[in-house]
Each structure stands twice: as C-alpha cells, then as structure tokens.
Chains A and B, each alone.
Chain A
Amino acid sequence: MKFSDRIQKVDRRIIYVILLIAVVLPLVFRLGFKTYTTTPVENLYRHIDAIAGKDDMAILMDFTHDPGVLPELYPMDLAILRHCFERNIKVFTISFLPQGAAIIQMALSEVKEDYPNIEANVDYCNFGFKPWSTKLPIMLGMGDDIAEAVETNSEGLKLENLPIMQNMKNYDNIQVVVEISGSSMGQFWVIYARAKFGVDVAVGLTAVMAADVYPYLQSGQFVGSLGGLKGAAEYEQLVDIFAMNGLEFSKKKARDMEWVEAQYEELPELAQLYKYNKARIGMDAQAIVHVLIIFFIILGNIGYFLDRRAQKKSM
C-alpha cells in the first residue's frame, strides 16, 4: 500500500483507541488549561447576580433534558444552583420531561449538601415534573399567576401556601428563565413567555446546538447562553472568582487572566470539590480531542493531495 493510501486509511479501531486515551488521560491527570470567559456567559451570570438578596425576585430553571446530555449540561445545572445558593438568589425549578425531574432532584441534593442553611420552599422551590402537554398552559399561565398555573410543587404542596411564594406573583418576579436542554425548548419560552409577557430568557445547550442561538442573542431574545461544556466551564469559573469570594461581577476583571489566577489561589475548599470543577476538567479532555481530530483531518488531506499529485503526474 502506498504511503498516501496508508495515511488515508487508518483503521477506525486505531482512531478509537487513540481518542479514548486522549479523553481519559486529561480526566485522570488534570492539565489545568485556562478558561477564558465569553460575553453570552458573562451576561447570564451578571443577569442572575443582579437579584442577589432580593426576596421578591427569582430565576426559573427549566431542566427539560435527559440523562444522555448530562455530561455537558449537568455541570451547568450545578454551577447555576451554586451561584444562586451562594448569593442568596431564589430559584424555581421545573421540567417538562420525567427524566428532567429526577435530574433536578439529583442536582438540588448535590448542591444543597454544601449549603445546609438553604431551605426547600423558602430559598428555592422545585415545581417538579409537569407533563409536556401542559407546557403551553403553564408558560402562558405564569404570566398571570405562577401559583395558579403550576398549582403544586414536586411534593404535591399547594404553591400558594409556600413561604417562597408570598412575594411572587407572575413573570414580573422572574428575573430570567434559564432553559437547560439539548433541544430548541428555549425558543418556546421566547415565543410564549417573552413575546407575550416580556420575561427574559437564557439557555444552556449542548455544543452541537450552540450555533443555533446566535440570532436570538443578537436580537436580545436570549439575554445569555451557555454553549456546551465550554459554557459550563466559564460559568463555573465566574462562580468561583466572584460569587465564592463575595465579589460583584466585573467584565474587566473576568477577562484579566492575572487577576483570575490570583483569585484561584484564595478559593475556599468548597470550590475545589470535584463536582464544582467537572466542566473545567472536561474541557482539558475536549481541548486535546479537538486538536487530535484536527490532526486526523490534516493527515487525511495530506494523503488526498499526495494521491492527487501522483495521479496528475501519471497522466
């Protein structure tokens, strides 16, 4: 076999093994690549942070995603919840998928164990699973009365009787709806909740969906977005350097890598837990895999051009 053929026809099992090593090694031995934050992530962080300590404002997190996308989206779930619990921001959670309801339970219990003072139905309220078919009535109904539209929380308690609901009426009390999903669910919130009631919407998406949101970001229909593991890693970093240190967000500081590095050295133990660094560790593996895929693409193309040159010569 010619050299050009050989580099174009590497057995896919060899590619798989090399890829496996490239994924596993950075997960075991942390490379510690830097995380650079981007505008859509910073905007979402700032938007949520703006209601820190307010009793009559909350964010609504929609967990309409299934376990298949957890590696990318779960770090976002944890990072946003940690931000809210750290900065005393009220949170509502909901899912229109049954699996999403279980993910809410997982995420809430995982973050709550580090915040013993946070109380269910006082600091946050889990609306739980609501059938897909009730999505439209709930999205529209919350514009008038959240307690009436959602009716009960995940434990079956009437919302109107819960302490957290005493200062909450409708979308006027929702700072932002954060849709975390591997689908176009965020657009439903734009069509039904934003267009009619003006509530702000943001999304957390898998990387393959991230390119779809740019028209919505430019038009302001999404106030921010977290694109894939990279978006989650950026949010983790913002929570670490600002929320964990009790600091207000500053774009200038977030982009000053020397200042960021200095903040990392003073982080509390809580921020160093594996669960709150998952996305950044994952990004090390992703960076290596991206380079590897580029290498394979270039290798294939070198073979292709060598082949073409040989063909031209023989003609």
Chain B
Amino acid sequence: MKRQIPLMIVLILGLLFVAHVFIPSKISTDYLEWFMKWTKVIGPFAIVLGVFSLVYVHYNKIKRKAPNWGYSIVTLTALVVTTAVGFIWGIQEGTPYMWIFKNFNVPLGATMFSLLAFYIASAAYKAFRARSVEATVLLVAAIIVMLGRVSIGQAITHWIPDITEWILNVPNLAAKRGIALGVGLGMTATSLKIMLGIERSYLGGKD
C-alpha cells in the first residue's frame, strides 16, 4: 500500500492534467483553479524546509569545525541579518535591506560573473586550436560571430554581421531545434513512464 497509493495519486493527477489540456470544459477549468489555490498554499512551506536545511547544514559545519567552517558563520549571519532588517524596516527603496542588497549582493554577484571574461579569454587562448577540420570550422565560426556581435565587425565589412546572422539563424537554429525536440520527446517519455509507474525512483528506497 505504501507504494500503490502514491502511484495511484500520480496516475490520477497526471491523467486529470492531460484531460484539462485536451478536453477543455467547465469541470476541467474549475479543477485547475482548485489545484492552483492548493499550489499557492503548499509552495511557501518549502521555504521553511529550505531555511531549516540551510541552518542545519551550516550549524553542523561550525560545530564540527569542518574545513572552511568560517564561511558558514558568514552565511548564517547574512541569513539572520538580512531577514531581520527585512522584517523590521521592510524591503522598499531606502531601507537597510536595500542598502545591504546594493552594497553587498550587487557588487559580489557582478564580480563573480565578471571573472568569466578572464577565464574565457585564458581558456580560448590555451585550448582553441585548429587541430581538425571540425575544430577549424568551429574556430572560424567563433571568430566571425565574435566580430559580428560588436561594431568592429560592421566597420570592417557589412558581410561579417550578415554572416553572423546566418550562422545564428541557420546552423545554430537547426542544432538548437534538434536538441529541443530531443529534450521534448525525452520529457514526454519520462512523464509517461512516471504516470504508468515504470519509473519509480522518485518514491525513494527500494522497490
């Protein structure tokens, strides 16, 4: 019963959702509205679980003096302080919450992302070699697209942005669409396997 009841719930709800999409009617619309209300109620409980998990993991790291445990203190302090100032003074413009956001979150986040440019430059220089025909095609395409995406490409000749657009609109599009179709079919197959009880790993434990 421990397995059959969850499997039945998944099958029935799955069929109801499929029916909602393919058989539009008042009953199916009412069902969706009812379900949406429940989702809104259930969703926020995940925050409680998330906060509990975060505190539990980092508290234990500090207690055991695990490697880099100092960062756990920073994490928990940030959690407590940001939450406290948000609750006390609100999160509107001009509050301490926004001050923390602008002076910690924004520069730290932007710094992490900006480092990418340096890694990409170094990695491209070290690894991008025309070792084979395929690698050469990739290399030439990359150089054209890099030039075509900045004004220097247009300044050299209008052909560079035109070829860039062609690369993005034809070979790139074909590859992306192929991948998307594969992913879509894979998702449909996996959904069917879950609904029919063939794929049961989400239940956890042994069969």
Residue positions of A touching B, CB distance < 8 A: 10, 12, 15-16, 19-20, 23, 33-36, 38, 66-71, 99, 101-102, 105-106, 108-109, 131-134, 136-137, 140-141, 154-155, 207, 211-212, 214-215, 218, 228, 230, 283, 286-287, 289-294, 296-297, 299-301, 304-305
Residue from B37, B129, B149 with most neighbouring chain A CB atoms (10 Å): B149
Contact A70 B106 (CB under 8 A): yes
The total of interchain contacts (Cβ-Cβ below 8 angstroms) comes to: 157
Please, how many angstroms separate the alpha-carbon atoms of A167 and B59 in the complex? Answer: 51
Taking a contact as CB atoms under 8 Å apart, the answer to whether A70 and B117 are in contact is: no
Q: Which residues of A contact B102 (CB under 8 A)?
A: 106
Q: How far is the CA of A301 from the CA of B139 in the complex (A)?
A: 10
B64 CB to nearest A CB, Å: 30
Contact of B106 with A296 in the complex, beta carbons under 8 Å? no
Pick the residue among A19, A102, A291 that contacts B101 (CB under 8 A).
Answer: A102
Tell me the dominant secondary structure on chain A's binding face. Answer: helix
Interface of B is mostly: helix
Check A16–B106 contact: CB distance below 8 A. no
In contact, B150 and A283 (Cβ under 8 angstroms): yes
Taking CB atoms, residues of chain A closer than 8 Å to B118 are: 15-16, 19-20
B: residues with CB less than 8 A from A are: 32, 36-37, 39-40, 42-44, 46-47, 91-93, 97-98, 101-102, 105-110, 112-114, 117-118, 120-122, 124-126, 128-131, 139, 142-143, 146-147, 149-152, 154-155, 161, 165, 168-169, 172-173, 176-177, 180
Q: Are A214 and B168 in contact (CB under 8 A)?
A: yes
Of A36, A109, A140, the contact of B161 (CB 8 Å cutoff): A36
Chain B residue nearest to A227 (CB atoms) is B149
Closest beta carbon of chain A to B16's beta carbon, Å: 15
Q: Which of A134, A214, A290, A292 is within 8 Å of B147, CB to CB?
A: A290
Pair B43/A131 contact, Cβ less than 8 Å:
yes
Cross-chain pairs A/B with CB under 8 angstroms, 28 sampled: A12-B126, A15-B118, A15-B125, A19-B117, A19-B121, A33-B155, A35-B151, A36-B154, A68-B110, A71-B110, A99-B101, A99-B109, A102-B105, A105-B92, A131-B44, A133-B40, A133-B46, A140-B32, A230-B150, A283-B151, A289-B121, A293-B124, A296-B125, A297-B128, A297-B139, A297-B142, A299-B125, A304-B130
